[in-house]
Structure 1
Amino acid sequence: MTVNRYALGLVFCCFYVVSYFTNKYVLSVLKFTYPTLFQGAVVLSWLPGSLLFVGNIYAGSRALSRLPIPMFFTLHNASEVVTHMTSRLTHKEHASWTKLLSVSLLLASAVSLPLVDPQFDPGGYFWAVIHCLCVGAYRVFQKLPKYSHLSDLEQQCINYIFSVLLLAVAAHPTGDLFGVFEFPFLQSYRFHSGCCASALLGFFLLLTAVKLKSGLPLEHCASWLFLAKILAACLSPFVFDIVVSKSALCCLLVNFAGEGLLVYSEYNAASR
């Protein structure tokens, strides 16, 4: 049973790394700066959550197209600060000192990174902040008691269907999302292959994540997600061109230390 859990976690990590690498390739190398239409309710009460989901994938796509993967993760992890602050204000939740320290490290590294990033891109960081806010707000929305009857798979199905409908409607005013006639044959082939690969990998990552959550406690799932992020961040310089100064590297290390401490605090809270 333990072997199966480790195997499932490793599969999740592989899909996570390859999915982010493929999305980064499609968004930055192939210059596909619009959100893919393969991301996809029927439940009207979940509409605000679906809107936050669309904001998450749209802003995330725009940010990932312009920022290196480690920098993107640093801003993405800061969404925990939004979740924590909102939960404290709305639910009066009390946090342990380890969680407070982890949230402080995540916030400090995210705020400091734009100041020391040698590849600073104002547009990329702007969309990363929007992505961070949407992700944090979406987590809070998921925890509302009125939606506890919806499983993770049901929530994601609603989100994906809604995003397909909304982004398809938005495709006309924002331009031709397929761009068949704007690329040479080889580039067009690579473009569509990359989009299809991104869609399939995203779908399999979703299924693996749902399976992982159903078979493991949430704190263990957080550990696997943390490991997947570390793998993606460490391997990305071998695939994409990244310039990192010593100060920026310190921000990245502080950010991952903060996330590791957050996982540790959640594990301790669950074991009490």
Structure 2
Amino acid sequence: MCVRRCLVGLTFCTCYLASYLTNEYVLSVLKFTYPTLFQGWQALIGGLLLHVSWKLGWAEINSSSRSDVFTWLPASVLFVGITYAGSRALSRLAIPMFLILHNVAEVIICGHQKGFQKEKTSPAKICSAPFLLAAAGCLSFSDSQFDPDAYFWAVIHLCCIGAYKILQKSQKPNALSDTDQQYLNYLFSVVLLAYASHSTGDLLSVLDFLFLYFYRFHGSCCASGFLGFFLTFSTVKPKSLMTPGQCAAWIFFAKGYRSLLCVFEITVI
């Protein structure tokens, strides 16, 4: 069992790092600035793979009542906001800056737990909140290439993350499993982003994209879709095999290692 937990944890860390690197390459290096198409593609691949996994018996998707599905729809809207705003921000910000702003979402969650739900919060989490806010504030003032649009979308991204996790935690214990929630997120994302790609003009504008017919663009997009699914799948599995503390430790390890890579990237540049 211990070996199995380690393998699942290492799989999660690998997918987490590879997913970020692939998305960074497509959005920042190749400059694919069509978030409705990119995120719609990832949702489509993720939804299809999750459906196939369900049919093969690798994942469990339960038949949920309509009331549970309708109750979850606001969270699905926030999920689309997370992915769309995150893509817009990541295409304009360096990874280290994006991650610092991304972590501020924990302050929103902590503040809601402490101020509204009156939950007991660990002293370490309370003490870390001011440091996260200070780091994000100092970052914006010291950024020599300050881009207001990038920070605007980053703020939308972290607000959606905070609200999504708050809604997720407020769900009834037996209403929807993590797999059910993600399946609905994928379905709603595909429908909404397909419509948005036409209304925003991305569907026609992408024809002018410089690397549209290059194999490295096609390969990166395929990799991003599959890695996004495997990251989701490997995120659900640890929850069934590990304690919440062990899951948090693996997530902390993955984020810490990604931050070290970011520091290395800055040093090389």
Q: TM-score, normalised by structure 1?
A: 0.81
CA deviations 1:89-108 (Å, max 9, x no partner) are 32122323222101222122
- Say which of 211, 221, 226 aligns to 2:247: 221
Instruction: Check whether the contact 2:114–2:120 (CA below 8 A) recurs between aligned residues.
Output: yes
1:51 to 55, 77, 81: 77
1:177–1:186 CA distance, 2 compared to 1 (3 A) = closer
- Structure 1 residue 185 displacement after superposition: 6.7
Residue in structure 2 matched with residue 136 of structure 1 by the alignment = 162
Q: Which runs of 5+ in 2 are unaligned?
A: 44-63
Q: How far 1:113 sits from its partner (Å)? A: 1.3
Q: Partner letter of residue 157 of structure 2?
A: H
Contact 2:30 2:217 in 1 (8 A): yes
1:208 and 2:234 equivalent? yes
**How big is the shift at 1:112?**
1.7
Aligned CA RMSD, in angstroms, stands at: 2.4
Q: Where does residue 3 of structure 1 map in the other structure?
A: 3
* Of 48-57 and 182-191, the range deviating more from structure 2: 182-191
| Paired amino acid for 1:166 | L
Alpha-carbon distance change, 234 to 118 in structure 1, aligned in 2, over 3 angstroms: farther
Distance 2:267 2:146 in 1: 14
With over 3 angstroms needed to count, the CA separation of the structure-2 counterparts of 1:143 and 1:99, relative to structure 1, is same
**Partner Cα separation in structure 1 for residue 145 and residue 243 of structure 2:** 38
Of stretches 59-68 and 86-95 in structure 1, the one that deviates more from structure 2 is: 86-95
Tell me, in whole angstroms, the C-alpha distance in 2 between the residues paired with 1:32 and 1:241.
25
The 1-side partners of 2:97 and 2:206 are apart by: 31
Q: CA deviation at 1:183?
A: 4.4
Across the two proteins, how many residue pairs are aligned to each other? 243
Aligned-residue offset at 1:31: 1.3
Q: What is residue 38 of structure 1 aligned with on the other side?
A: 41
Where 1:192 maps in the other structure, the secondary structure is: helix
Q: Summarize the alignment of residues 118-137 of structure 1 with structure 2, pairs less than 5 Å apart.
A: 118-137=144-163
Secondary structure of 1:140's aligned partner: helix
Partner of 1:196: 222
Q: Distance in 2 between matches of 1:108 and 1:85?
A: 16
Q: Greater shift after overlay, 18-27 or 67-76?
A: 67-76
User: How many percent identity over aligned positions?
Assistant: 53
C-alpha distance in 2, partners of 1:146/1:63?
33
Q: Tell me how far apart the structure 1 counterparts of residues 168 and 210 of structure 2 sit (CA, whole Å).
A: 44
Q: Is contact 2:110–2:125 with CA below 8 Å preserved after alignment?
A: no
Structure 1 pair 219/33, CA: closer, same or farther in 2 (3 Å)?
A: farther
Mapped partners of 2:84, 2:207: distance in 1: 24
| Deviation of the 1:234 alpha carbon | 2.0
1:237 CA displacement: 5.5
Which stretch has the larger CA shift, 157-166 or 176-185? 176-185
State the one-letter code of the partner of 1:164: V
Q: Deviations over 1:17-59 (max 9, x none)?
A: 1100000111111111232213439711111100111110001
Structure 2 residue 89 is the aligned partner of structure 1 residue 63: yes
Distance 1:214 1:190, change over 3 A: same
Measured against aligned partners, the alpha-carbon deviations of 1:45-82 in whole angstroms (never above 9, x if no partner) come to 11110011111000111111111112111111100111
Alignment of 1:1-272 (within 5 A): 1-35=1-35, 36=38, 37-40=40-43, 43-146=69-172, 148-177=174-203, 181-183=207-209, 188-236=214-262
| 3-state secondary structure, aligned to 1:91 | coil
Query: C-alpha offsets along residues 172-191 of structure 1, whole Å, 9 cap, x if unaligned?
Result: 12224486642467853322
Q: Which runs of 5+ in 1 are unaligned?
A: 244-272
In structure 2, relative to structure 1, the CA distance for the partners of 1:51 and 1:194 (3 Å cut) is same
Inter-CA distance 17–31: structure 2 relative to 1 (3 Å threshold): same
Amino acid at match of 1:32: F
Q: 1:214 to 1:179 in 2, by over 3 A?
A: farther
Q: 1:171 to 1:180 in 2, by over 3 A?
A: closer
What's the CA shift for 1:232?
A: 1.9
Question: CA separation of 1:195/1:131 partners in 2, compared to 1, >3 Å: closer, same or farther?
Answer: same
